[in-house]
Chain A
Amino acid sequence: MEHTETHITDYRVYGWVLLALLIFTTITITVTWIDLSALTVMVALIIASIKSFIVLRYFMHLKFESKLFTVFVVMVLSIYVLVIALTFFDYLLR
């Protein structure tokens, strides 16, 4: 029940994280100029996932918090992805 030791993140870390996020934003905009046809959605989602991973890990402090939080996040996202996948058993195979 003890307090977890507080972790103070340096300002510069957030600066770098912001820079990384902006770079990925630039990438995701740039790839729309290239015609990837069927892969477009996939690429956009992959880049968005990388960006959210960074936000979750650094801005939302999952890296420094109790591992329990990470376990929960992974669990929730997995359940959600499975629900979508199961729904598409209907929509893709109708």
Chain B
Amino acid sequence: MEMHRDDLGAKLGMWIFIFTEILLFGGLFLVYAVMRSHYSDEFHQAAHQLNAFIGTVNTVALLLSSATVAMSITAVQKGEKRKAVLFILITLICAGIFLFNKYFEWGHKFSIGLYPGSDMMVGLKHGYILFFSLYFFMTGLHVFHLIVGSIILTIIMVKIQTGSINAEKYVLLENGGLYWHLVDLIWIFLFPLLYLIT
């Protein structure tokens, strides 16, 4: 049987997958909400320990990367292959900047002994423990999604280059883009909740 193509069906499937991802993080946001309501002051103080500047740089990087992924779809639709590849390359560079910053951010905390289960962490005030646990869990899960998204986009970039994604057939790019925007969406909430509310 020849496979019939159903782009709308494929996108519907991707959206449903995105809902599951939103609810996956949703469980963590629920924990955050409950803990924050209980340890309001300590959460405020603990947030001072995070570097809002690095957070801001990462936010800008992710917003820019989201825009370029969206633009790459336009480029593919118009048949501008080189532009499309370039846009995705910019996205991947932004992802690299994000990972680079995250590495040093986490690395610094590890170097001063601040990580889940460490003696220092367990000795902190309850609100602090929970704040940093949530910080590591949420940003960790987010970074995991970012890495997966980067791999997907790399594959897509190759496929655009080889022409298997083209102006006629680009639903894979659209779905990869949707996934990338999800990574951005999660960060839009993580950034103020973890870094800014001090």
Interface SS, A side:
helix
Which of B95-103, B133-141, B157-165, B189-197 is the contact stretch? B189-197
Is the C-beta of B77 less than 8 angstroms from some C-beta in chain A?
Answer: yes
**The one of A66, A73, A88 that contacts B37, using a Cβ cutoff of 8 Å:** A88
Residues 139-198 (chain B) with a chain A CB within 8 angstroms: 174, 177-178, 181, 184-185, 188-189, 191-193, 196-198
Interface SS, B side:
helix
Q: Would B8 and A66 count as touching, CB distance under 8 A?
A: yes
What would 4 more interface pairs be, CB under 8 Å, given A25-B63, A59-B184, A60-B177? A14-B71, A17-B70, A32-B196, A88-B34
Residues 35-94 (chain A) with a chain B CB within 8 angstroms: 40-41, 44-45, 47-48, 51-52, 55-56, 58-61, 65-66, 68-69, 72-73, 76-77, 80, 83-84, 87-88, 91-92
Which of B19-27, B107-115, B116-124 is the contact stretch? B19-27
- Please list 20 pairs of residues, one from A and one from B, whose beta carbons are closer than 8 Å in the complex, sorted by A's number: A8-B78, A9-B74, A11-B74, A17-B70, A18-B67, A21-B67, A29-B52, A40-B197, A45-B192, A51-B188, A55-B66, A55-B185, A55-B188, A59-B181, A68-B12, A72-B15, A76-B19, A80-B23, A88-B34, A91-B38
Q: Would B22 and A80 count as touching, CB distance under 8 A?
A: yes
Q: Would A21 and B63 count as touching, CB distance under 8 A?
A: yes
**The one of A14, A44, A76, A80 that contacts B74, using a Cβ cutoff of 8 Å:** A14
Q: Would B37 and A92 count as touching, CB distance under 8 A?
A: yes
